[in-house]
Amino acid sequence: MHLILEAIMENAIQQKGKRLAITGKKDPVALAAILAARDRGWIEPVACGGPLSELRKELEVYFVDSDIWQARQEALSLLRNKEAEALLDMGPLDNRFFSLLNEAGAQIKNTHLLSYVSVFMLPKNGLMTLLTDTLINSAPGLMEKVQIVENAIKVANALGIDRLKIAALGPLELVNPAIPSTLDAAILSKMSERGQFGDVIVEGPLGMDNAESALAAQHKGIESPVPGNVDVYLFPDLESANITA
């Protein structure tokens, strides 16, 4: 089921405010968005990077020009201690940060992989589409892709998207033992057939053309409800995912 942005915002109104740890430098655009989310009751923002006493202010948003790594450590400490439920980081992205996130993720959520989901509203019809993993895992293998799929399902469900349709992408729509991504996609597809992801359909391998177009898929002999109706695009690697995003 596709979902439009207005429906997501309407769904957010029903939620209690989540305590959000914020790191980064002063940014008027980001600040305006954070204040708007706070005023709607979606979040309770806590800016990280200042003295500990200031971190506990509940109805004030500010940014502290301090060391970004100090701020990130403080934010992750809030998450570990369940004093915050999410992290909004607007600092520089690099491998050191991702290592820090995965280390913290292992402490917070045992051993489950962290991955990134990009959410887009399609200009052609205003519907929501998710792309993953577009930022963190550079060359995921099958085990990592299973967890990336599970993470994307959680994000989609949180957005109110059910009966999820996932396109497991590859350079072609045929299983080729010489191309590992096609094998991974085929295995994920079979796992979904056996109900291992719940009420979710994973179809793959699919090329981008036959994932995007049901007609193109039919020309290749692919009969599936996923082509032309994709909720989540699962990419074979970070390069293809990030470039597409």
Please state, in angstroms and rounded to a whole number, the distance separating the CA atoms of residues 38 and 45: 7
What is residue 213's predicted lDDT score, i.e. its pLDDT? Answer: 92
120: number of Cβ within 10 Å: 12
Reduced to 3 states, what is the DSSP secondary structure of residue 119?
A: strand
3-state SS class at 2: coil
Element (H, E) at 129: strand 128-132
Residue boundaries of the structural domains of the chain: 16-108, 117-244
Q: What is the pLDDT of residue 50?
A: 59
Position 171 scores a pLDDT of 94
97, 48 in Cβ contact below 8 A?
Answer: no
Mean pLDDT confidence for 139-163: 93
The residue with greater pLDDT, 82 or 59, is 82
pLDDT at 139: 93
The CATH number assigned to the domain with range 16-108 reads: 3.40.50
Pick the more confident residue, 160 or 233: 233
Instruction: Of 35-49, 105-119, 151-165, give the range with the top mean pLDDT.
Output: 151-165
Mean pLDDT within 232-237: 97
Distance in angstroms (rounded) separating the CA atoms of residues 65 and 46? 15
Parallel/antiparallel/unpaired status of strands 117-121 and 128-132:
antiparallel
132 touches 167 (CB < 8 A): no
Q: So what's the pLDDT on residue 59? A: 41
pLDDT at 13 over 80: no
- pLDDT tens digits for 69-115? 778 888 888 888 888 888 888 777 766 776 677 666 655 555 678 89
Phi-psi region of 28 (alpha: psi -120 to 50; beta: other; left: phi over 0): alpha
Q: Hunting for tokens 């957010």 — which residue is that?
A: 12
146 vs 85: CA distance, rounded Å: 24
Strands 232-234, 164-169: pairing kind: parallel
Which of the listed CATH numbers 3.30.559.10, 3.40.50.11750, 3.40.718.10, 3.30.565.60 matches domain 117-244?
3.40.718.10
Helix/strand/coil (H, E, C) string of 139-192? CCCHHHHHHHHHHHHHHHHHCCCCCEEEEEECCCCCCCCCCHHHHHHHHHHHHH
pTM of the model: 0.82
Dump pLDDT digits (tens) for 166-212: 999 999 999 999 999 999 999 999 999 999 999 999 999 999 999 99
